[in-house]
A and B are shown apart, each in its own frame.
Chain A
Amino acid sequence: MDRNIVIRVVDLTKRFGDFTAVDKVNFEVEEGEIFGFLGPNGAGKTTTINMLITLLRPTSGEAYVAGYNVVKEPYRVRSKIGVVFQDPTVDRYLTGYENMYIHGLIYGLSGEELKRRIDELLQFVDLYEFKDKPVKMYSGGMIRRLEIARSLLHIPRILFLDEPTLGLDPQTRAKIWEYIKRLRDEHNVTIFMTTHYMDEAEKLCDRIAIIDHGRIIALDTPENLIKMVGDEVVHVKVRGDLTMALEKLGSINSYVKDVDIKAGQIIFSVSNSAKAIPTILEFLSETGVDVEEVKYHKPDMGDVFLKLTGREIREDEGSWKDMVRTVMRRWR
C-alpha cells in the first residue's frame, strides 16, 4: 500500500545575495514519519524549515506541505501545520494557559472545545499545575514543552520542530524525545525536525537527511546510514606524518573493511574489533608508525557525518552558541 506523501520538496533553493543557503534540495516525507534534518549550524536547516512553514520565499524550486504549495497557498499550509521555533515565541507576561488560549483563537478554535483541548494538552506535557503561572517564571524546558503543547492545539497534520532540544539539559531532552515519540505513535502526527545532535537524530528519526552547505548529502534510515560506516570503527591517532602512514596501510587483513584518514586520524571500519585491533597495531609498529591513541566504538551518526564530509559536527561549537543564547535570554 502506498503511503501518503505529506511534504514534497523539488529543487528547493534559497539564496541570500551571493550566498546559497539551500541548494536544490529534494526530498519527500511520508505521513506518520519522524523525519530528521541533521547538519551542523549554518548548514541550511532553519532556512529550509522557514520556507516550508511559509515564512520565507524560496528563490527557486517548489515545496508542497499537506498537499498545498507553500508560496501560492500559504494560509492553507499554515492551518495544517504546527511549528515550534528554535527560540521561544511565547508571551512571557501571559500565563501558560493564556498563551494557549490566544493560540487557539488565532487558529480559529473557541469555546468549551478549546478549553478542553488546552487542559488535555497541558496534562500531556505535564504543565497543568503551572498553567496559571506567568511564562516568565518557566524554565527553558517548560517553555519548550508549552510550545509543543501549543503547536498541537489545532490538531496539525505535520509538526515542524526546529532544534527541539537546543540548550536543554539531558533529562529534559529525554522527556521531549518521549513526547515526540508519543505524538507520532498516539496521534499519528508527521514530524519534521532539525537537529545538530547526532544521538537525537539516531534515536528519534525514522529517516534522516544529512545536510551540509545547503545540500542533502545522504538520506536514509539511521540503520542504513550507519551500515555505510561498518560494524565497528577504530580511530587511531598517530604521531608524525599521516600520509606516510596511509601509504603503508594497503590491505591489512580480512577484518578491516575500509581505511580512511579524516580529521587527523586514521579510521578503520572493521567487522570484529577484538581481532582487528591487535593486527592493526602490529602492522603499524612494524612499519614504524608511532601510535598515540586508539579508540574503538560502535559506529553512530557522528561517524557517518565524518565519513561523508571529512569534518566532525562540532557539538561544542553548538553548545557555545547555546550558552550565549541562554545568557542573552536571561539578560532580557
Chain B
Amino acid sequence: MERELKVGYTKALYAMVYREVIRYKRAYSRMLGSLLNPIIWLIFFGLGWASLFRENIFREIFYGLDYITFLAPGIVMMAIFSASFLGGVSMLWDREFGFLKEILVAPASRSASLIGKSLGIALTALIQGILVLLVTIPLMSSINIYSLLPAILVSYIVSLGFTSLGMAIASRMSSMEGFHLIVSVVMMPIVFLSGAFYPIDGLPNWMSILIYSNPLTYGVDLVRYLLTGVYSIEPLYSLFGVLGFTLIFILISTYLFHKTTL
C-alpha cells in the first residue's frame, strides 16, 4: 500500500537524468580535461609502440591489426570506464553538499532516484567515450561502421555497470578521504588488466584469473570485436559478461542506497 503512493517513477528518473546532463554541460573544463587524458595515452603511448610494431610480423600478435587500431577501442573503453566510475563515486559530493538529503526526504522511490542518477551519469560517460572515438577514428586503419550502433549500446551498458559500482562504493564511504586510494587501488588495475593495451592470450595463469574476473575485460573485447572484428573471448560470452556484471552492480548499489539514512 505504501509503495503505490510513491511518486511517479518515470518523473523521478527523468529528473535525475536531467540533472546530470545539465551538470555535464556546465562543466566544460571537466569535459575537456577528461578528453585530454585518453588522447595523451593514444598518441604518446600508442603511436610510440605502433612505430616499433610497424613490421608485418607483429600484426600476428594483434590478431592481424596494426597496434593503433588494436589499441583505439581499448582507449575508448578506458575513457568510458573512468568517466562512469568516477561519476558514480561523485555521489559522495551529493552527500557532502547536502543534495542527498533533498532526495532522501522526497516521496519519490529511492530506486528511481538512484537508477535515474546512474542512467544520467552513464549517458554523460557515453558522450565522453563517443568524443574520444571521434578523435581516434582518423588514426585507425579500418573500422566497422555498421557495428557502431551496437558498440555504443554495449558501451552504455558497461558504463551503467561501472556507474553503479562507483555509487555502491560511495554509499559505503563516509568521507572524501578514501577517494584517492580508490582511484589508484581500484581504477589502475581495472584498466591495465582489461586487455585494453595488450592481447590477453598466453599470459601467466594468475594474471589470466585477474583478467577474466575483471568486468571491463568483457566490455573491451566486445567493443573491439564490434569495431574491428577481432576478439579473444567469444563475443556472445562477452555479452553475457557485460550484462551480468552490470545487473549485479545495479542490484548491489540499489540495495545499499535503500539502507542509506543520513
Residues of A within 8 A of B (CB): 50, 53-57, 72-76, 78-79, 81, 83, 85, 87-94, 98, 101-103, 105-108, 110, 134, 332
Q: Contact at B19–A94, with CB atoms within 8 Å?
A: yes
Interface check B163, CB cutoff 8 A = no
Q: Contact at A98–B11, with CB atoms within 8 Å?
A: no
Find chain B residues with CB under 8 A from A53 CB.
105
For this complex, 11 residue pairs linking A to B, each with C-beta atoms less than 8 Å apart, are A56-B261, A75-B107, A76-B5, A89-B99, A90-B99, A91-B23, A93-B26, A94-B19, A101-B18, A105-B12, A108-B7
Interchain CA distance A196-B252 in the complex, whole Å: 41
Can you list, as one digit per residue, whether each of B106-121 has a CB less than 8 Å from chain A (1) or not (0)?
A: 1110000100000000
Q: Contact at A89–B98, with CB atoms within 8 Å?
A: yes
Interface check B2, CB cutoff 8 A = yes
Find chain A residues with CB under 8 A from B16 CB.
102
Q: Contact at A79–B99, with CB atoms within 8 Å?
A: no
Find chain A residues with CB under 8 A from B104 CB.
55
Q: Contact at B15–A102, with CB atoms within 8 Å?
A: yes
Residue of B nearest to A103 (CB): B102
Interface check B22, CB cutoff 8 A = yes
Q: Contact at A88–B7, with CB atoms within 8 Å?
A: no
Interchain CA distance A134-B2 in the complex, whole Å: 36
Select one of B8, B11, B22, B97 contacting A92, CB under 8 A. Answer: B97
* In the A-B complex, the 4 residue pairs with the closest CB atoms: A105-B15, A108-B7, A89-B98, A79-B107
Select one of B8, B11, B98, B100 contacting A88, CB under 8 A. Answer: B98
Q: How large is the interface on B (under 10, 10 to 19, 20 to 34, 35 or more residues)?
A: 20 to 34
Residue of B nearest to A76 (CB): B5
Interchain CA distance A106-B113 in the complex, whole Å: 8
Select one of B12, B15, B98, B105 contacting A78, CB under 8 A. Answer: B105
Interchain CA distance A94-B7 in the complex, whole Å: 23
Q: Contact at A107–B107, with CB atoms within 8 Å?
A: yes
Interface check B212, CB cutoff 8 A = no
Select one of B8, B23, B96, B108 contacting A93, CB under 8 A. Answer: B23
User: Do A76 and B2 form a contact, CB below 8 Å, given A87-B98, A93-B27?
Assistant: yes
Select one of A88, A102, A106, A107 contacting B97, CB under 8 A. Answer: A88
Find chain A residues with CB under 8 A from B5 CB.
75-76, 79
Residue of B nearest to A98 (CB): B22
Find chain A residues with CB under 8 A from B105 CB.
53-55, 78, 81, 83
Q: Contact at B101–A85, with CB atoms within 8 Å?
A: yes
Interface check B181, CB cutoff 8 A = no
Residue of A nearest to B113 (CB): A106
Q: Contact at B27–A78, with CB atoms within 8 Å?
A: no
Can you list, as one digit per residue, whether each of B72-102 has a CB less than 8 Å from chain A (1) or not (0)?
A: 0000000000000000000000001111111
Interchain CA distance A73-B5 in the complex, whole Å: 10
Q: Classify the secondary structure of A's interface with B.
A: loop
Q: Contact at B22–A94, with CB atoms within 8 Å?
A: yes
CB distance from A118 to the nearest CB of B (A): 14
Can you list, as one digit per residue, whether each of B137-173 has a CB less than 8 Å from chain A (1) or not (0)?
A: 0000000000000000000000000000000000000
Interchain CA distance A330-B7 in the complex, whole Å: 35
Select one of B3, B11, B96, B97 contacting A105, CB under 8 A. Answer: B11
Residue of A nearest to B260 (CB): A55
User: Which of A92, A108, A110 is packed against the most chain B CB atoms within 10 Å?
Assistant: A108
A105-B14, A332-B97 are known contacts; what are 13 more A-B pairs with Cβ within 8 Å? A54-B105, A75-B3, A78-B105, A81-B105, A83-B105, A89-B97, A91-B23, A93-B23, A93-B26, A98-B19, A102-B18, A108-B107, A134-B26
User: Which of B18, B96, B102, B104 is packed against the most chain A CB atoms within 10 Å?
Assistant: B102
Q: Contact at B103–A106, with CB atoms within 8 Å?
A: yes
Residue of B nearest to A73 (CB): B2
CB distance from B98 to the nearest CB of A (A): 4
Find chain A residues with CB under 8 A from B26 CB.
93, 134
Residue of B nearest to A82 (CB): B105
User: Do A91 and B19 form a contact, CB below 8 Å, given A75-B6, A106-B7?
Assistant: yes
Find chain A residues with CB under 8 A from B40 CB.
none
CB distance from A18 to the nearest CB of B (A): 20
Q: Contact at B106–A107, with CB atoms within 8 Å?
A: yes
Residue of B nearest to A72 (CB): B2
Find chain A residues with CB under 8 A from B106 CB.
78, 103, 106-107
Find chain A residues with CB under 8 A from B3 CB.
75
CB distance from B209 to the nearest CB of A (A): 42
Interchain CA distance A72-B5 in the complex, whole Å: 13
Interchain CA distance A75-B99 in the complex, whole Å: 19
Interchain CA distance A332-B97 in the complex, whole Å: 9
Interchain CA distance A54-B104 in the complex, whole Å: 9
Interchain CA distance A54-B107 in the complex, whole Å: 11
Q: Contact at B108–A108, with CB atoms within 8 Å?
A: yes
User: Do A106 and B101 form a contact, CB below 8 Å, given A76-B2, A93-B23?
Assistant: no
Find chain B residues with CB under 8 A from A57 CB.
261
Interchain CA distance A102-B103 in the complex, whole Å: 10
Interchain CA distance A83-B16 in the complex, whole Å: 20
Interface check B203, CB cutoff 8 A = no
The B1-57 residues at the A interface (CB cut-off 8 A) are 2-3, 5-8, 11-12, 14-16, 18-19, 22-23, 26-27
Find chain A residues with CB under 8 A from B102 CB.
89-90, 103
Interchain CA distance A299-B93 in the complex, whole Å: 45
